[in-house]
Amino acid sequence: KLYNDSADDCWREAAMHATEGIRAQQHNTRTHDVGFMVFNSFGQALEQTSSNPTLHQMLINQGYVNVVLTAAHSLASRFDPVVGCIQSWEAGRVCRADPSYEATFPVIIDNMMNLELLFWAAVQSGNATLSRIAESHANTSAAHHVRPDGSTFHVVDYSPSTGAVRRRCTNQGLTDNSTWARGQAWCIYGFTMAYRYSNLPLHLQTAQ
């Protein structure tokens, strides 16, 4: 972005150098944050250079598209069709107010921000499975993370065997029934972005 605004090569070189250090994360299947890490670096590099054909092609030649596609499949590996979501964290104690509770399939509202990796990769590769996973996650989150008044739960824990909600709680918010402000922002942005790709009214209505 700084390079686009200034045309100063020092910003391009700094961005590419920093981005290179994240390349190995394309293979990371142990966190949903691969979307944050890879799309906001390699993916945004491709998006931000779309009006500069020479630089854009240079990034393609350096494997940027392949990195994003590989990362999308790494993220998709965390999807459970029974639950209909991508697992955010590993099973364990994630509810701050009840540290003894053992979550089995925790999904956090932050995960909405990772879906652009899947949507973008689906468009680029023609792999509709990736977009279906993203849509399923968004639909399930709309049903179980978002309260009737539009506020959100931070964490929803599901049963991986039945897909049923086991518990709603918070890990970083004030209380289980409060709204964690940053998570609310993730929700608004995530559903707005999802609607841009899916054109599903549910996604726009949830964002609104």
Would you say 194 and 119 are in contact if contact means Cβ atoms under 8 Å apart? yes
The catalytic position among 5, 8, 33, 157 is 33
* CA–CA separation, 128 and 159 (whole Å): 26
Q: Among positive and negative, which fits the CA dihedral 180, 150, 120, 71?
A: positive
Of residues 104, 67, 99, the one with CA closest to residue 87: 104
Question: Token pair of 124, please?
Answer: 């680029």
Q: Look up 33 and say whether it is catalytic.
A: yes
Asked about 110 being catalytic, the answer comes back as: yes
Q: Which of the residues 5, 9, 110, 157 is marked catalytic? A: 110
Backbone angles phi, psi at 63, to 5 degrees: 85, 15
Catalytic residues: 33, 110
